């Protein structure tokens, strides 16, 4: 058995595949859907703290790195598969993108709201579609592009509503959009890297690299990471384990068996789940114009994915 091969290839030939592995291979979209639910808890947890975004991101990533590092050692010892240089390289570049995404995500939520930031996630299929055209050679047709423009118009409405509302912040909205772009880059590199490294070591490498990226920012900006409260550490640990470790594992592991555009489509449920949680648990108001813009964006994205070009992408042709 080649030790540098990713777990997706190992599981194809493993005769003693466990029940969870069989379920994941047969129903990968079920795992990705569960991951979307776990991701939706992240924005609410972030918004419910008083600590700054970079400080919370710092602790969330280092706690996650320690957690995933422990799991990686256990898996490597049990399986005997050690990641090679190519695998660690994919994990490292994905970690850089994820670290920038984390910073923008945390800061944006603190400057705007859960609704504003999570509604930006509706752009993820468009960003991934662009990257897939470059990386995987996928070429959508004119109808796909027209529907993409519709989604951009809807996002523009959300941007205007979020930037002009009582708690609006144009810079925070811009960071919310940029956070989606970098997450799309992380997702694309994750899908590529799955052929070279097992999921848990990959996530360990990515989270550790992201932690270094955020730590560099914290060092330069002078963020008070040492004065964090016990409650904030509990929140950081919860984010690291629930939407972090578990959410990313169930979303990353099935990637070899699904088309690149399907996970972002499923994750369109995240803004609405997170917004509902913020409404009930944080009493965050939801503006009618924000919902209208989000609905237009959702219609545009779904239209793009259901177009001829979108269906060809889903079929891998």
DSSP secondary structure, 250-297, as one string = HHHTTGGGS-TTHHHHHTTHHHHHHHHHHHHHS-----HHHHHHHHHH
What is the DSSP code (8-state) at residue 242?
A: I
Closest CA to 194 of 14, 54, 12, 1: 12
Closest CA to 9 of 205, 249, 197: 197
pTM here is 0.77
Confidence band of 161 (pLDDT split at 50, 70, 90): low
Supply angle C-alpha 285, 296, 292, rounded to 5: 30
Residues 128-157: tens digit of each pLDDT: 878 877 887 766 677 877 887 787 787 667
Q: Give the CA distances from residue 91 to residues 2, 122, 173, 248, in Å, rounded to whole numbers and listed in that order.
A: 19, 25, 28, 13
Please indicate whether residue 9 or residue 89 has the higher confidence score (pLDDT): 89
**What count of other Cβ atoms lies within 10 Å of the Cβ of residue 175?**
23
**Most confident listed range (71-75, 133-137, 174-178, 258-262):** 71-75
């Amino acid at each position: 058995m080649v030790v540098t091969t990713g777990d997706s290839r190992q599981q194809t030939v493993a005769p003693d595949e466990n029940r969870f592995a069989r379920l994941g291979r047969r129903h990968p979209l079920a795992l990705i859907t569960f991951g979307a639910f776990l991701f939706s808890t992240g924005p609410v947890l972030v918004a419910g703290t008083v600590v700054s975004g970079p400080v919370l991101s710092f602790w969330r990533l280092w706690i996650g790195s320690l957690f995933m590092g422990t799991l990686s050692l256990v898996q490597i010892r049990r399986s005997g598969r050690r990641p090679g240089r190519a695998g660690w390289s994919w994990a490292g570049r994905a970690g850089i993108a994820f670290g920038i995404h984390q910073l923008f995500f945390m800061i944006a939520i603190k400057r705007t709201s859960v609704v504003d930031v999570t509604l930006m996630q509706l752009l993820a299929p468009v960003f991934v579609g662009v990257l897939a055209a470059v990386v995987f050679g996928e070429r959508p047709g004119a109808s796909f592009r027209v529907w993409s423009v519709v989604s951009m118009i809807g996002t523009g409405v959300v941007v205007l509503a979020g930037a002009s509302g009582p708690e609006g912040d144009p810079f925070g909205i811009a960071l919310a959009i940029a956070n989606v772009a970098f997450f799309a880059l992380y997702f694309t590199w994750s899908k590529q890297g799955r052929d070279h490294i097992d999921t848990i070591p990959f996530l360990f490498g990515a989270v550790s690299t992201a932690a270094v990226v955020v730590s560099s920012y914290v060092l330069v900006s002078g963020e008070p990471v040492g004065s964090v409260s016990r409650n904030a550490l509990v929140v950081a640990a919860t984010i690291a384990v629930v939407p972090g470790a578990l959410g990313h594992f169930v979303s990353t592991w099935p990637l070899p068996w699904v088309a690149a555009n399907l996970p972002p489509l499923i994750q369109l449920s995240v803004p609405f789940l997170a917004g509902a949680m913020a409404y009930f648990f944080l009493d965050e108001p939801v503006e009618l114009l924000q919902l209208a813009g989000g609905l237009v964006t959702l219609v545009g994205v779904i239209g793009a994915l259901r177009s001829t070009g979108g269906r060809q992408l889903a079929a891998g042709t």
